[in-house]
Structure formats: C-alpha cells, structure tokens
C-alpha cells in the first residue's frame, strides 16, 4: 500500500532497509539457482542421457512438453552460463539500488523461461514460453518506466515482438495444418506433405518471426532503443540469450523441422545476414552511447550468424556436405562467442554506468586508472568482438571463411554469392575493428571528457568476479577452440545437414575443420606473442644503464598548453571519416548554425554544430509504416462514430455476407 | 633445423628491414637529384634512439607505454609466421593467411589505442584516420587472400606458395594479376606509403601514422620505427613469395637456404625499388580520396575472385 | 614522360662538399651519425629560415650527412634556434627544450641567435639564445650561407 500511495514502486530506493536487502538476496539466489540448474540440465542433455517428460498441469490444457536435444541443450548451456554470471553480478549491481523491485522479481523467472524454451517439444509449450519471454523482457525494458524514452522503447519493442509472435503463430498454423499432433516429432513427419508454396510461405513467416527476435534488419530498431533503457544485467541477458533464441528458432524450425529447402532459402538468409551485419556494424561505429553501440553490434553478430546459417543451407542444397557442416560449426561458434563477449561487454558497461553515472562515450574516458578490472574486462570483450586473432569472434569467422574458400569451381548464383559474402564478412570485420577500438579507446583511455565525479579505486568484488568468469570463457574460446570441438560437433550434427564423423584432430589447440585443409594454432601464437613482449621488455630493461634516466614531463601535444580534456578526439569525431564514407547509408543529420554579432554580420560570435544520431532504416521504413497505419486507423474511425444503429447495421451486413459465402 | 631456419629468417628480417627503408630513401633521393644518405642511415637512427632518454608524459595511461611494445612484438610474431627463405619453419602447418594478416592488425590496433591514450587531439586524429583506412583495407585484404585461396583450395600460406610453384602458368593468369594489383594497394596502405600516407610528413592535415607516435621518444620510438620497417619488408616478402615463390627452399639444407635468402632479398629489393620509383611520381591523396583507392583495390580483388570461379581450372 | 626526361637530364644536382675534419667535431656523446633537429624560430626575420631550407635542397643535401628536421621535439636530438629570443617565444623555446630527450644539443643559427645582432635593446627582446640555454654550436652570419650551415652541422652529426 505504501508503494501505491507514493505512486511509484521503482523510485523507491531498494538499497535501504533490511527487508529490501533480503529481497535482493532472495532474487539473486533464485537467479543463480536457475542459472546453475540450467548448466546442469544442459550438460545432462548434451553429454548425459537426456530426458523427456510431459507436465500436464503447467500449460493447460496441453501440458508442458519437454525433450532434450543436442541443439536445445547447447542453447540451455549458453543461456545459463551467461545467466549465472549475471546473477553473480547482480549481487553487486542490485545493492546500489539500480534495479527496481519489479526487475528483481522478474530476473529469476526470465532466466528460467529462457532456459525452458530450447527444451520445449510441442507448439503450445513453445509459444507459451516464447510469449512469456517477450512480456518479461518488456517489463525489464520498462525498469525506469517513468522515463519517456523507456516508454517509447518498450512500445516499439512490444510492437515488433508481437509482429514476430503473430508471424510465428502463422508459421505453426501452416506447418501443423497436415499434422495429427502438436508435438515437434509428429510435426516433422507432416511437414513433408506440405506443398512447395506452403513450405515457402512457412519459411518466410519463420524468418520474420525469429528474425525480429534476433534483431535482423529491418526488424532491428527495437534493439538500440531497448538496451540503453534496460538495466545492464538485463541487457546482457537480452542481448546474448534472448537474441540467440531467434537464431535457435531458425535452426530448429527451418533447418531441423523443415529439413532445409531450395537454394533461395539459404540465399535469402545469407542476404539478410549480410545486410544486417553490414548495417549493424556501420550504425554501431557511429553510435556514441556505449550501450547503443553494443546493441547495434548485436545486430551485426546475429547477422553474421544468419549469414553462416544461410551459407550452410546453400552448401547443403548445392551438395557440399563438408562445407555445409563447416558453416554449421561456424554458426555455433559465432553464437557461442557472441554470448560470451557481449555478455561481458554489457556487464562492464553496466559497471561503468554505475560508477560514473553515464554510458555516453562523449562523456567518458580515462577509466583505466580508476577502474582497472572493468577496463581490462571490457578490453578483452572488445578484442573478442573485433574479430582479430586471439579474440573469440575470430574463430567462428575463420571457420566460415574456410567453408567459403573451399567451395571450388561453382556456377551460377553461388559463384556470385560466395565472393559477395566474403566481401560482407570483410567489411563487417573491418568496421567492427574500428567500432571496438572506438568503444575501448574513447570510453576507457585518454582523459575523462566530463566531470565523472571522484571515485574510489575499483576493488575486486563480486561484480568483478562475475566478469572475470566471462573473461576466462572468452579466452578459452579464443585460445583453445578445440576444447569445444566435441560439443560443437554434436550440436552442428544436430542440424541434419550431413553424415560426417569426427572433426580433424591436431595438437592441443590446433584448429582444423574436418574435410578441409588448413589450420590455425591460436595458443602457439599467443605464447609466442607473450614471449616476444617479455623478451623485448627484458632487453630494454637490461639496457637501462646505457641511457639517461627517464624524465616525467608534460605532454608535448605540438606545443599546445592548457590542453583540456574536451580537446581530445571523442566518439563522434573518431567515427567522422567513416561517417563521411558511408554517408549514403546512414544519412547523418547535421545542422550548422552560425550566429553573428548584431553589429556586423561578418563577425561570428558562435558556431553551433548539432549532429543527431538516427537510424536511417527506421526513419525510412518505420515512419512510413506508421503513417500508413495511422491513415488506416483514421479511415476505420469514420466507420465507428458511436451510433448504435450503425453498429447493428454492420452486424447484420456481416451476417449476410457470412451466410452468402457459406451458402 | 627448422629452428635454425627461423633464427636465420628473424635475423634477416630484423637486420634487413632498416636497410630496405634506407635503400628506398636512397633511390628516391637519387631520382630527385640528391646525393642521398647512406643505406645504413635508418639503422643508425634506430640504434641511436635505443640509447636516448625516455620521456614519460604526465596523464598518459598504461597503453601509451606498452603500445610500442605490443606493436613490435606482434610484428615479430608475424615475422616468424611468413615463409621468406624456407617452407620448413616450425608450426608451418598452421600459418594461415587470414591469421597472419589479422595478427598484423593487432599491432596496428595497439598503436592506435596508444595514440588515444595520450589524450591529445593529434593522437586521436591519427588513430581515427588509421582505423578508417584499416576498416576499408580489410575487405580488400580478405578478397585478395580469397582469390589466392580458391585455386590452392586452402588459405595456408605454404599451400598457396606450393600451388603456384606447381603450376607456373598461373603466375601470369588474369586472376593472379588482379589479385596482385589489389594486394599491392593493400601493402602500400598498410605500410603507410604514398599515396595513402607520407612517412616523411608532419603536417596536421595529412599525417596518419605519424600523428599517433608524436609523443614517443627513445626506445619506444625506435621500436615503432623498426617494427614499421619490418612490416614493410614482411608484406613485400609475402607478396613476392605468394606470387613468385622462386627460390623458396623446401628443405633445410644450407645451400637451399642460402639460395632462398639471396633470392628473397633480391625480390624484396626489386619490389621496394619499384615502390620507391613510383613514389617519386606520386603526390599524397587527400584523406577523403583514399577510400576510393581502397574501393578500387576491393573491386580488383572481387574481379580476381569471380574470374577464379568462372575460368577453367587450368588457367586460373 | 616529361618528368622522366627531366630526371635523366638533370642527373645529380648535389654539389660536392669538403671532407669532414675530425679535429673540429664536437659533442662526442652525439656520435651515432644521425642528428635530428627541431627548428625553433624564436623571433627571426626569416632570413636564416630561407638559408636553412636551402640546406635541405638537392644542391646542398644536408640529409645525406645524417641531419634531418622533425616536427616533434620528442623525436629530436636537439634544437636549432634562429632569431633573437622574443618575449612571446621565450616560453615555447624553453618548452621545446624541455620536451627534447637527452642527450641533446642546442644550435644557434645566425647572428641574432648568437648575439642579438644589435637588437638587444628592443622592447620585445629578452636576449640571445645563450642567455636562456647552453649553446653547443654557433653558426655566425646574417644570414649564414647554406654551405657554412652544412659544414657546421656536420661537426655534430660527424658524417
């Protein structure tokens, strides 16, 4: 009652009072429990015996149907690993009062929902939890619901996610139309009897439905709006676990359930993946908010995963089983590494936001001295995300490239698509590099660009511990990808594209792809690199006596004195050259206003440059759809003017039409 | 024995790279009617810098001081991963072209971060420009590698070199020529030579690479200069051995390695001279024209790939 | 094509310079054969600048003797100062000196830098270079001829 009279639950500081402390601890323990349980269940499904059951009381009237598959278990492990780290992180994050009571209540349920979805085995169970996930995530976006931007973001997200839901609903209606049961196993047999037209329609519906969840262009616009509003741990979960489930849906229902299709399916996936990755990375590179940047980067990575999936489908339909398999492995690696580095990046961004009160790159800087652990963690995440060797994302991209270069003589569309695909990957990784250097270099290095307050030096607490777990995961993928070989093999096998056994086995850490020549050895390079750094440093140290002693001096900065922090390059200026190059894609909005003195118009008193970030696809497409929809709404409004007589007439007319049709 | 080969290669790269820079400067000087400094001049400069004082500017972060170290070390690792003299290097089965090029970029990134860490406008400017060039360079690199990989059916450097050695006709194939042209532009941009960047300039409006290293003194500057020289040598050595692997030893015999060493030095010197001569006739491009050049390189790579797919296997 | 013809027809422009007398060498601690200088115009009439830039032309080719100019004093082995030290340039001159890593040399180029050349009483003049810094090498003349500058700087670069 107290909360109601105050009118607002979320503004109530949760940090005070023993009761709220208990509430926080209870919520986090529940989330942690869900996370750990998920890891156990996933492992049981993947390396144990697996399990299947029907709990008739849970989703009435059909019951909750659960069955482990290799693919599903893999996603459960992926989700629950991130969830475990997020739960640990929340012990520190929630203490600061940055999580509302509602978010705290939702967290454990959200994690449980995410973990159940990949295991569901029937349409009603899947849809129930899919929709539950959407509602919970909308609530998380509305953590600060009194903010207008949060309301706008949640509305947009709700609209997109409901569009996706209806699309998935349509997909299931179509697929189940010839089936006698709603179980996925019975469905699989019925799919074969669909006509090609129906199958194609079903594929498009699935693509729209799951693509919207994965944040693929053009249904991506909710991502960069929702993430800055949701609390960082929620962003971490949504941007890794939830979007991955979009790709999971595509694999599960397009590749497994419908067993692939004609070449153009793969081509369409490939095209959408390529456009998403390029558009995502370009928008990401010009964003100046850390969380928006990471959100666009999610679109980029999901685009890459879709591209890999599309490659896999194309290779299947053109009878290249080895290459299809390699691309499937690449998909799994891309999803796995993305979950790890993006989760880490969002948690680090959350710590920055907590400590400095902002995630605006144009206000940040100089955090390496103050926040050593968080800076290091974000550095690792950025290295992983940049697609450089010794980073986690490189592995998936490399395997995908291997799949493409081994294509050999091809003809027709495939021979044209393969180079363009490589071009898309290359452009994405090039700009991705700039984006990640910008995120880390501008956000954490140099000098603070605004007054970020006096903070104590960061200590290694539970939040830092949670991040270090993800750091270890990132390094493990990057340096010892072969350790995940057997897991990935089973998961990629679960996409029934081929019937190959085993992956190439080399020395410890030497990565080869079965049936393809070429290998990389990340661990050896890392060791060599470390040795080279240490050797150089030692030589230099030994020669110390041969040079004058070091001097502490002011920056030279080309003779500039009174250098202030606003004179540094910032996020906008860093990406400006690239923004010029891609001006046709992003269409930057700029106003320059020159204000002159009253006395003379030749004397300028002030120049104002305003640059408004915006999403060109959003403004081109969404606003048009919005305009059409509201026009339709206005037309419809003419029909219902409140007169009862008219409504009765409508009813009568409708009845007559129905009768006429049925007759 | 393969470790001896590695040692010889590292010494060749380390000692030869300043001489390459010196030779290129000498050629340019002679063409401009000058006397020209001795070929050993870059060597003297690097040696001198190692015994100069280190200036630690206030308010710079840790990345500022370790940036040159990472730049140098990553270059050294790449120097151990490219077959210049012999194919029998340790771990040669894992020398993937994608990996090697990516590793070179690690050094670039380390230096860019160091530039940002100074907190000056010049450091940020250099870093931003360098990254813009790299972002647009990467597609060309990957495309050119792709064109070479298709016909060797592998992106392993040794496999590509061997494939060319087995089918000498391919050296003059259209795909080769296009990929070569694309890679040359890549090398010029990556090594920061004209017309993309001018290593001799310190003008605000034009400099890219130099802007990031303005604050460095002593051994830090020496490491950066040395590593930059090594990178140029490695890139030239890489393209000469990918397209014309003549003399590349396939055993670890002393004789074969001696021939390999002489021939690779000759090939690199030839490429370096051509580059230097070309630079005399060129002015630096405006920064915002550079993307057009890199875009041209990308299109050349794309054409090379497409030709590789459509031409019959024998002529690819 | 025109450029190629010019290159061929011009040949080597550089004029031969007298050989270096080891007895006149100074600053033995700067014996690497490479001398990188940062030029500071402390208040010059630009006469010395014209002569200095002539030194780096193909005719005199000072770079072939291991001497070069740089923009950042961090990369330099010393300063070459021209002109009297004016009030406005005094601090920048000292800044540039402090920013130069040791061991470092200071070269005073031209009469103004050496002894103010009659401008000492000027209201904006704080003195000659030697009044502010320890000068290692003085190159007299108003302005000194390029050949003299080349000969003097070679005493430091020792090439």
Q: Do the Cβ atoms of A341 and A474 come closer than 8 Å?
A: yes
pLDDT tens across C20-79, in order? 888 888 888 888 889 999 999 999 999 999 999 999 998 998 999 999 998 889 999 999
A555 lies in some domain: no
Smallest CA-to-CA distance from C38 within C88, C107, C131 is with C107
CB contact under 8 A, A556 and C72: yes
- Rounded distance, CA C45 to CA C119, Å? 12
Q: Smallest CA–CA separation between A523 and chain B, in Å? A: 11
Q: In the block, which residue shows the tokens 């920048």?
A: C92
In chain C, the residue whose alpha carbon lies closest to the alpha carbon of B214 is C72
CB contact under 8 A, A525 and B77: yes
Q: Is the pLDDT of residue A504 over 50?
A: no
Q: Is the pLDDT of residue B241 over 90?
A: no
A28 lies in some domain: no
Average pLDDT over residues A398-404: 88
Average pLDDT over residues B21-50: 90
- Rounded distance, CA A501 to CA A516, Å? 13
Mean confidence (pLDDT) of chain B? 86
pLDDT tens across C121-146, in order? 889 999 999 999 999 999 999 999 99
Give the helix ranges, DSSP H, for A386-411: 392-405
> What is the DSSP pairing of strand C35-43 with strand C67-70?
parallel
C34 lies in some domain: no
CA distances from B211 to A558, B115, B179, B200, C134 (A): 10, 8, 31, 12, 30
In this prediction, residue A501 carries a pLDDT of 40
Kindly list the residues from chain B whose CB atom is less than 8 angstroms away from the CB atom of residue A365: 119
C95 touches chain A (CB under 8 A): yes
Same domain flag for A456 and A415: yes
Q: Do the Cβ atoms of A367 and A443 come closer than 8 Å?
A: yes
Distance of CA C37 to the CA centre of its chain: 7
One-character DSSP codes across A436-448:
HHHHHHHHHSS--
In chain C, the residue whose alpha carbon lies closest to the alpha carbon of A553 is C99
C58 lies in some domain: yes
- Report the CATH number at residue C128: 3.40.50.12280
CB contact under 8 A, A559 and C92: yes
Same domain flag for A407 and A510: yes
Same domain flag for A374 and A499: yes
Same domain flag for A609 and A495: no
Same domain flag for A582 and A628: no
CB contact under 8 A, C74 and B48: no
Q: Do the Cβ atoms of B76 and B245 come closer than 8 Å?
A: no
CB contact under 8 A, C64 and B31: no
Smallest CA-to-CA distance from C30 within C79, C94, C92 is with C79
A468 lies in some domain: yes
Kindly list the residues from chain C whose CB atom is less than 8 angstroms away from the CB atom of residue B118: none
Q: Which of A552, A557, A559, A560 to mutate to test the interface with C (most CBs of C within 10 A)?
A: A559
In this prediction, residue A503 carries a pLDDT of 43
CB contact under 8 A, C72 and A558: yes
CB contact under 8 A, C102 and A558: no
Burial of B201 (0-12, 13-18, 19+ CB in 10 A): middle
- Rounded distance, CA A10 to CA A99, Å? 8
Q: Which of C3, C11, C36, C64 to mutate to test the interface with B (most CBs of B within 10 A)?
A: C64
Number of alpha helices (DSSP H) and beta strands (DSSP E) in chain B:
11, 1
CB contact under 8 A, A558 and C71: yes
- Rounded distance, CA B115 to CA A446, Å? 9
Q: Is the pLDDT of residue A14 over 50?
A: no
In chain A, the residue whose alpha carbon lies closest to the alpha carbon of C89 is A559
CB contact under 8 A, C95 and A559: yes
**B neighbour chains, 3+ CB pairs within 8 Å:** A, C
- Rounded distance, CA B216 to CA B110, Å? 14
Q: Smallest CA–CA separation between B221 and chain A, in Å? A: 13
| Nearest-CB residue to C72 (from B214, B280, B281) | B214
Q: Smallest CA–CA separation between C115 and chain B, in Å? A: 31
Q: For B249, which DSSP code?
A: B
Spatial neighbors of B62 by CB under 8 A, at least 6 apart, are A368, B117
Average pLDDT over residues B219-240: 92
- Rounded distance, CA A383 to CA A393, Å? 9
Average pLDDT over residues A317-345: 89
CB contact under 8 A, A519 and B106: no
In this prediction, residue A505 carries a pLDDT of 43
Q: Smallest CA–CA separation between C14 and chain B, in Å? A: 5
CB contact under 8 A, B134 and A537: no
CB contact under 8 A, C101 and A556: no
- Rounded distance, CA B208 to CA B219, Å? 21
Q: Do the Cβ atoms of A347 and A525 come closer than 8 Å?
A: no
CB contact under 8 A, B139 and A423: yes
Same domain flag for A609 and A501: no
Spatial neighbors of B84 by CB under 8 A, at least 6 apart, are B9, B12, B13, B234, B237, B241, B248, B260, B264
> What is the DSSP pairing of strand C105-109 with strand C85-86?
unpaired
C142 lies in some domain: yes
Q: Smallest CA–CA separation between C74 and chain A, in Å? A: 8
Q: How many contacts (CB atoms, under 8 Å) link B and C?
A: 78
In this prediction, residue A9 carries a pLDDT of 38
B286 touches chain C (CB under 8 A): no
From chain C residues 72-91, the ones with a CB under 8 A of any chain A CB are: 72-74
Q: Do the Cβ atoms of A343 and A240 come closer than 8 Å?
A: yes
In this prediction, residue C150 carries a pLDDT of 93
Same domain flag for A528 and A589: no
Kindly list the residues from chain A whose CB atom is less than 8 angstroms away from the CB atom of residue C95: 554, 559, 561
Q: For residue A583, what are the domain limits?
A: 568-616
pLDDT-derived band at A496 (thresholds 50, 70, 90) equals: low
Q: For residue C63, what are the domain limits?
A: 45-157
In this prediction, residue C37 carries a pLDDT of 93
Q: Is the pLDDT of residue B275 over 70?
A: yes
C70 touches chain A (CB under 8 A): no
Token pair belonging to A252:
């599960």
Lowest mean pLDDT among A155-164, A201-210, A286-295, B167-176: B167-176
Q: Smallest CA–CA separation between C75 and chain B, in Å? A: 6
Smallest CA-to-CA distance from A200 within A175, A164, A163, A176 is with A175
Lowest mean pLDDT among A301-305, B201-205, B226-230: B201-205
Burial of C141 (0-12, 13-18, 19+ CB in 10 A): middle
Global pTM value? 0.91
Q: In the block, which residue shows the tokens 């159940």?
A: A116
Same domain flag for A527 and A589: no
CA distances from B12 to A48, A257, B171, B259, B267 (A): 55, 58, 26, 13, 14
C27 lies in some domain: no
In this prediction, residue A221 carries a pLDDT of 86
Same domain flag for A478 and A461: yes
Same domain flag for A312 and A394: yes
Q: Smallest CA–CA separation between C102 and chain A, in Å? A: 7
pLDDT-derived band at A607 (thresholds 50, 70, 90) equals: confident
Q: Is the pLDDT of residue B60 over 50?
A: yes
In this prediction, residue A117 carries a pLDDT of 92
CB contact under 8 A, B154 and A565: no
Q: Which of A277-286, A364-373, A566-575 has the highest mean pLDDT?
A: A277-286
| Nearest-CB residue to A556 (from C74, C102, C103) | C74
Q: Is the pLDDT of residue B175 over 90?
A: no
In chain B, the residue whose alpha carbon lies closest to the alpha carbon of A556 is B215
Q: Is the pLDDT of residue B236 over 80?
A: yes
Which three-class secondary structure state does DSSP give residue A126? helix
Q: Is the pLDDT of residue A6 over 50?
A: no
For chain A, what is the domain count?
A: 3
C143 lies in some domain: yes
pLDDT tens across B123-162, in order? 888 899 889 988 888 888 888 888 888 878 888 888 888 7
> What's the sign of the alpha-carbon dihedral A535, A536, A542, A543?
positive
Q: Is the pLDDT of residue A409 over 80?
A: no
One-character DSSP codes across A78-113:
HHHHHHHHHHHHHHHHGGGT-S-HHHHHHHHHHHHH
Buried b (16+ CB within 10 A) or exposed e, A449-476: beebeeeeebeeeebbebbbbbbebbbe
C103 touches chain A (CB under 8 A): yes
Which strand (E) or helix (H) includes residue A520? strand A519-520
Q: Which of B55, B58, B77, B81 to mutate to test the interface with A (most CBs of A within 10 A)?
A: B77
- Rounded distance, CA A4 to CA A11, Å? 12
B125 touches chain C (CB under 8 A): no
**A neighbour chains, 3+ CB pairs within 8 Å:** B, C
Q: Which of C75, C99, C102, C104 to mutate to test the interface with A (most CBs of A within 10 A)?
A: C99
CB contact under 8 A, A422 and B117: no
In chain C, the residue whose alpha carbon lies closest to the alpha carbon of A548 is C102
For chain C, what is the domain count?
A: 1
Q: Do the Cβ atoms of A194 and A223 come closer than 8 Å?
A: no
Which three-class secondary structure state does DSSP give residue B102? helix
Which strand (E) or helix (H) includes residue C127? strand C125-127
Same domain flag for A441 and A477: yes
A575 lies in some domain: yes
Q: Smallest CA–CA separation between A375 and chain B, in Å? A: 12
**Crossing angle for the helix pair A290-317 and A392-405, to the nearest 10 degrees:** 30
B59 touches chain C (CB under 8 A): no
CB contact under 8 A, B120 and A563: yes
Same domain flag for A298 and A434: yes
The residues facing C68 across adjacent strands are C36
| Nearest-CB residue to B44 (from C11, C33, C61) | C33
C61 lies in some domain: yes
Kindly list the residues from chain B whose CB atom is less than 8 angstroms away from the CB atom of residue C65: 37
Lowest mean pLDDT among A303-307, B107-111, C155-159: C155-159
> What's the sign of the alpha-carbon dihedral A163, A169, A171, A177?
negative
Q: How many contacts (CB atoms, under 8 Å) link A and C?
A: 20
Which strand (E) or helix (H) includes residue A493? helix A485-493
A334 lies in some domain: yes
Token pair belonging to B81:
């991963």
In chain C, the residue whose alpha carbon lies closest to the alpha carbon of B224 is C75
Higher pLDDT, A567 or C79: C79
User: What ipTM did this prediction achieve?
Assistant: 0.92
């Amino acid at each position: 009652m107290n909360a109601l009279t105050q009118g607002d639950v979320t503004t109530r500081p949760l940090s005070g009072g023993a009761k709220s402390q208990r509430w926080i601890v209870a919520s986090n323990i529940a989330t942690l429990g869900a996370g750990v349980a998920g890891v156990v269940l996933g492992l049981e499904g993947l390396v144990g015996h697996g399990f299947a059951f029907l709990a008739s009381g849970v989703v009435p009237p059909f019951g909750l149907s659960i069955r482990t598959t290799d693919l599903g278990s893999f996603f459960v492990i992926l989700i629950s690993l991130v969830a475990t780290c997020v739960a640990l992180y929340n012990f520190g994050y929630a203490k600061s009062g940055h999580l509302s009571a509602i978010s705290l209540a939702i967290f454990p349920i959200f994690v449980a929902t995410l973990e159940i979805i990949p295991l569901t085995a029937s349409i009603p169970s899947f849809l129930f939890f899919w929709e539950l996930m959407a509602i919970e995530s909308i609530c998380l976006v509305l953590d600060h619901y009194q903010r207008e931007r949060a309301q706008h973001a949640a509305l947009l997200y709700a609209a997109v996610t409901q569009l996706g839901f209806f699309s998935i609903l349509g997909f299931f209606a179509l697929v189940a139309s010839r089936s006698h049961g709603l179980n996925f196993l019975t469905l699989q047999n019925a799919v074969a009897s669909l006509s090609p037209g129906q199958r194609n329609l079903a594929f498009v519906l699935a693509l729209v439905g799951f693509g919207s969840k994965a944040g693929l262009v053009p249904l991506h616009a909710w991502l960069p709006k929702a993430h800055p509003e949701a609390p960082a741990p929620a962003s971490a979960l949504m941007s890794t676990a939830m979007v991955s489930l979009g790709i999971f849906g595509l694999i599960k229902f397009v590749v497994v359930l419908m067993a692939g299709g004609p070449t153009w399916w793969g081509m369409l996936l490939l095209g959408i993946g390529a456009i998403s990755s390029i558009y995502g990375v370009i928008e990401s590179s010009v964003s100046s908010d850390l969380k928006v940047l990471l959100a666009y980067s999610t679109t980029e990575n999901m685009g890459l995963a879709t591209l890999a999936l599309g490659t896999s489908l194309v290779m299947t339909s053109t009878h290249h089983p080895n290459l299809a398999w390699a691309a499937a492995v690449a998909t799994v690696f891309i999803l796995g590494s993305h979950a790890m580095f993006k989760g880490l990046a969002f948690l680090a961004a959350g710590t920055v936001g907590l400590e400095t009160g902002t995630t605006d790159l144009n206000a940040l800087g100089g955090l390496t001295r103050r926040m050593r652990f968080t800076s290091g963690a974000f550095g690792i995440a950025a290295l992983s995300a940049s697609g450089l060797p010794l980073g986690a994302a490189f592995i998936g991209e490399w395997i995908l490239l291997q799949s493409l270069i081994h294509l050999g003589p091809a003809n027709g569309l495939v021979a044209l698509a393969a180079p363009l695909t490589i071009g898309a990957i290359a452009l994405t990784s090039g700009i991705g590099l700039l984006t990640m250097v910008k995120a880390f270099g501008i956000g954490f290095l140099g000098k603070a660009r605004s007054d970020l307050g006096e903070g104590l030096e960061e200590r290694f607490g539970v939040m830092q511990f949670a991040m270090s777990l993800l750091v270890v995961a990132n390094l493990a993928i990057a340096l010892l990808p072969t350790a995940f070989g057997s897991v990935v093999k089973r998961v990629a096998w679960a996409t029934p594209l081929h019937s190959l056994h085993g992956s190439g086995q080399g020395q410890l850490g030497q990565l080869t792809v079965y049936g393809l020549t070429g290998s990389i050895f990340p661990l050896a390079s890392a060791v060599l690199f470390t040795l080279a750094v240490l050797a150089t440093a030692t030589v230099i140290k030994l020669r110390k006596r041969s040079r004058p002693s070091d001097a502490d001096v002011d920056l030279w900065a080309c003779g500039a004195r009174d250098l202030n922090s606003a004179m540094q390059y910032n996020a906008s200026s860093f990406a400006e050259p690239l923004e010029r190059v891609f001006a046709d894609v992003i269409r930057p909005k700029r106003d320059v206003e020159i204000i002159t003195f009253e006395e003379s118009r030749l004397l300028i008193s002030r120049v104002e440059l305003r640059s408004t970030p915006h999403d060109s696809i959003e403004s081109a497409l969404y606003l048009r759809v919005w305009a059409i929809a509201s026009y339709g709404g206005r037309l419809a409004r003419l029909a219902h003017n409140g007169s009862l007589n008219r409504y009765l007439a409508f009813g009568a007319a409708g009845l007559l039409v129905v009768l006429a049709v049925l007759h | 024995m393969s470790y001896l080969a590695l040692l010889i290669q590292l010494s060749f790269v380390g000692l030869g790279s300043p001489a390459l820079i010196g030779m290129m400067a000498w050629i340019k000087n002679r063409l401009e009617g000058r006397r020209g400094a001795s070929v050993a001049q870059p060597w003297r400069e690097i040696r001198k810098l190692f015994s100069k004082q280190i200036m630690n500017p206030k308010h710079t972060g840790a990345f500022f001081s370790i940036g040159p170290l990472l730049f140098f070390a990553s270059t050294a690792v790449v120097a151990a991963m490219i077959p210049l003299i012999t194919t029998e290097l340790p771990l040669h089965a894992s020398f993937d072209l994608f990996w090697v090029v990516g590793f070179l970029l690690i050094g670039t990134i380390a230096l860019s971060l160091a530039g940002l860490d100074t907190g000056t406008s010049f450091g940020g400017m250099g870093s931003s420009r360098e990254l813009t060039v790299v972002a647009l360079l990467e597609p060309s690199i990957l495309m050119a590698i792709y064109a070479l990989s298709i016909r060797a059916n592998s992106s392993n450097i040794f496999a590509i070199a061997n494939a060319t050695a087995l089918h000498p006709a391919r050296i003059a194939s259209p795909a080769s020529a296009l990929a070569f042209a694309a890679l040359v532009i890549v090398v010029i941009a990556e090594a920061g030579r004209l017309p993309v960047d001018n290593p001799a300039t310190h003008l605000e409006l034009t400099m890219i690479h130099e802007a990031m290293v303005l604050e460095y003194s002593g051994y830090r500057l020496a490491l950066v200069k040395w590593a930059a020289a090594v990178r140029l040598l490695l890139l030239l050595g890489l393209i000469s051995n990918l397209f014309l692997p003549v003399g590349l030893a396939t055993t670890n015999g002393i004789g074969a390695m001696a021939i390999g060493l002489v021939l690779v030095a000759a090939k690199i010197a030839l490429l370096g001279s051509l580059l230097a001569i070309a630079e005399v006739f060129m002015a630096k491009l405006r920064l915002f024209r550079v993307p057009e050049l890199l875009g041209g390189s990308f299109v050349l790579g794309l054409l090379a790939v497409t030709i590789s797919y459509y031409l019959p296997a024998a002529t690819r | 094509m025109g450029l190629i013809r010019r290159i061929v027809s011009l040949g080597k422009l550089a004029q031969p310079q007298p050989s270096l007398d080891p007895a006149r060498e100074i600053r033995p601690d700067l014996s690497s054969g490479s001398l990188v200088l940062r030029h500071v115009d402390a208040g010059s009439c630009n006469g010395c600048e014209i002569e200095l830039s002539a030194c780096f032309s193909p005719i005199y080719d000072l770079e072939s003797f291991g001497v070069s100019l740089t923009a950042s004093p961090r990369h330099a082995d010393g300063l070459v100062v021209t002109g009297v030290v004016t009030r406005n340039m005094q601090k920048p001159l000292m800044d540039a000196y402090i920013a130069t890593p040791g061991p470092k040399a200071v070269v005073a180029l031209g009469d103004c830098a050496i002894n103010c050349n009659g401008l000492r009483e000027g209201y904006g003049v704080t003195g000659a270079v030697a009044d502010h810094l320890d000068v290692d090498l003085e190159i007299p003349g108003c302005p000194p001829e390029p050949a003299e500058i080349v000969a003097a700087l070679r005493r430091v670069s020792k090439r």
